[in-house]
Structure 1
Amino acid sequence: MIPYILYTALILAACLVFYKLLLQKETFFHLNRYVLLSCMIMAFILPLVPIPQQLSLRKTAVEKPVVVAKVPVNKIETTKSIVQPAEPTVVEQTKETFKIESVVQWLVYLYWFGVIVFALNFLMQVVLLLYRAYSKSVIQDGKFRIIEITDDKAPCSFANNIFINPEKYEWEIYNQILLHEKIHIEQKHTIDLLLAEMVLIFQWFNPFAWQWRKALEINLEFLTDDQMLQQETVEKESYQFSLLKVAAPQFPLSLTTNYNQSLLKKRIIMMNSKKSNVHTTWKYFFLLPILVLFACLFNQPAAQSQNLKTLNALDSQENLKENLDIKSEMKTEGDWFATIKGNTVEINFKSNETDNSSSTFQLSELANIPRDKQGTFTLAREAGTMSFDGKFEGNKGMGTYKFIPNKEYSAAMLKEGVVIKKDIDLIVFFMINIKVSYVQMLKKNGYTYIDKDQLIPLAALNIDEAYITSIKQVLPDIDLDNLVPFKSLDIDKAFIEEIRKAGYKDVSPGKLIALKSQGIDGKYITDVRNSNKEDKGDNNKNSDDEDDDIIAFKALNVDQEYINSFKKLGYNNISNSDLIAMKSLNVTPEYISGFQKAGYKDIQADDLIAMKSLNVTPEYVTEFQKAGYKKINPSDLVALKSQNITPDLMQQYKDLGFTDLAIDDVIGAKATGTTPSFIKSMRGKGHDFKDLDKYIELKAVLGN
């Protein structure tokens, strides 16, 4: 929850800075309204949207994954290793972790307390406004409800209700106030304010969210003032003078549109400012790349991360399923149910109604199994002894069990630096059969500091001395934490040597895990490199970026055949990043051939990517060619498609007399809403221009 909320706050902050720097002084009030609303909504949606893995700027492979087995240990959790600056004891680590968790927990409580307080405040405002709206005398003016108040408050509106004290104002000012508030209601500005208040409920701690609400309110007033001045009955100087009379220091509730005295100066300045030129609309297009950058930096890739792939691989290991299916709730006493299967015995341990754990043992380990009669048998291991009471009838048995821990085992482990405090921890060590000699073997191989959570997956996966020795022959400095994902993914000496022969001379353990989890072997690397050599001078060049490209290639199934299919069309030097983007967008040789048949012989890879992302097809190009536009450059095709401009629309502009029509003109007209129907309506009102740019400027001034 906290990362998501903080991410949302970060997006709001970035969007507010962008708005303040580039958009706040523009007079495109309608456009600013949509920007403010869209950013508010996107701030909460964007963090939840997964992005294609090849576009993610997050680390896709963790350099040193640690597998930490917890009790319950029926799953293994992969996290990034932390290099300890010293050699703290387990007790010190536990205390430090507890302190951090406690602080985080209190922050979560504080956050939700704030959410509840602001939510209650929001509900109280809504209830109070509805009470005022339906408990006082009202004048019905069409769909508008005029509620007459008696206290000395500034006029305001909420939903379709206008709150005003008619005795305070002259008739002309009174009518202007009503007209102003009716515009607020007609354009549904209450929705904007309600959304802003709901954002504040969840972002109450974020100062940028409060500034965001203020910016939204100011823009709504700018927009309404602009609409007022377009009324034939309203004269600018008279209206501004009325505002000075109406503005009052007593603020209404924050859910209402109102005559806020603190905004008055800004509103008058904006009313007298020069209208923004339509050519400044380019600023708005920069907001989208900012949001995309945030998504690429922080969003979870759509494909699972390498850690999750490693986790799945670990879960798929049969020995983990058999040996680690033990729950922390398993008590030292309870009931057992068993089934003999050949040379093994599968025993299910039941401590209460909900706690069940099972494990499989060798039949030879169980001494004196009672058959067809009540009796006692035991299973003895270094960690302790499991005493069973009950009987078997055929291959099925049941009864009660009791675990007796071996205190000498705990002392021996403590001597080796492994702290085991609780009997339930000893049960885990008992089930996996972790011996003191196993810890001594690890220490002999250079792993001096070992804790109990590291031992459990190591022993469960049977990572023995032979395996460790073979890995150390090719990776002498491999960390203990990397051995678990190595073994679970079947990474052995032969695989490492194969990857190195393919050109990865200094491959790290983290990269090996990432490569193996994607099913990447030496042959795949060699084939891809031979098909797409970006660096002719050094075919063995290795870098983190190239590693990530290979992983992305495999995830997207970019193989030698795919690369060669583009070479046949003349694309001999496509970069890795372009290949990844082309594959993710399904840019095929057939797609390119269609454009080549239409006369586009040398479209660059980045243009192909942009065209495919907007679904610019050869058929779309052919339509323009039939209309007389023989050679439109790829960037203009992208712009035309982004605005959904067709040859029919181009012809409509020509029919209006714009015969010498440039593609850029039509793109600008469509982007600003200067449609043929708008031009016809303006000509009907006497605005007869020969230049399309004049209508674009007129549209910017009139807004909607």
Structure 2
Amino acid sequence: MKKILFSLLTLLIAAAVHGYAADNGFEGTWEAVFSHNELSLTMKRPDQKGSQTSFQGISYNRFKGLDRSKVKSDGGEITFTMPFEQGIIYFAGESQKNKASGTYVFVPDESFVGKLNSWGYKNVKDSEIFDLAMCDVETDYVERLAPLGYRLSEVVQFGIHGIKKDFIENAKYEGLDVDAIVQLGIHGIRPSFIKDMEGLADNLEETIQYGIHGLKPGYIREAKELGFDSEEIVQIGIHGVRPEFIKDMKALNYSVDEAVQFGIHGLRTSFVRDMTDKGFSVDDIVQFGIHGLRANFVSEMKAFGFTTDEIVQMGIHGISASKVRKMKDAGMKNETIVDVLTE
């Protein structure tokens, strides 16, 4: 109880010194771990259950009034401050063996509050100013966004995600709401992409998926016209496979996954069709296609009983079907033929 009273009394005095009413203060609890030249600090918030702000590896120079000798002692009261452009955090608590915990009060800077008022932000909550400080949202960032009509909590949201001022201004011009701006900004998708997707995407989530994977409106339109759904469009678009090719493969009863395999390796529709007509598996078709083997050569070699690997080996070495035929006519075994021709 004595420790708690000490912490609260110290913080209330600090608040009073700055002419700030105690019942208006923004309070919370904190914990810290101290090392040789830095500390790790966690601050828990009273207004948001389970919410906390953490700083890792902060230099002692970032704080004012921090007595490092007390940190190393076996125990004792400790007080210090952490100044920000937006205000000051007053810390008070108990330290013991390079660890400490206690209570903090955030006191907004009066001049900063005055600036907010001049930009049209009235009756601002201490918690909102605290968020600006914790997210390192600079004054000019807030000032530039103020004319756009966003609430301060929305400006904080933009700042948390590191969304650039120019991006927000362009998005506002495009008529996008806050959620869309945040989602686009997080993924680095230009605001005008929303308009590009009109009639092509059913919702924001779908638009984001297209944008994340860099799919162009023309590609999406072509795929839509051929009957592909959004999931399939992303699946084939990621690999840069043309929708028309996928449609041709589906006509040959191949799945989208199988068609994508063919497309990734640059196989032509005519090649796949010939191989399919001759009864080859997907894996075989891919192997033959990768190495540029002709369907007739593969078909004849299969008729002679050669394995896929053997056919590929002979194909790589440019062996003609006529040469293999002569060796077969001479009674040579497949294994011997492969060894002789590919050594």
TM-score by length of 1: 0.25
Which is bigger in relative contact order (C-alpha 8 A, separation at least 6)?
A: 1
TM-score (norm 2): 0.45
Query: Which is strand-richer, 1 or 2?
Result: 2
Higher-Rg structure is: 1
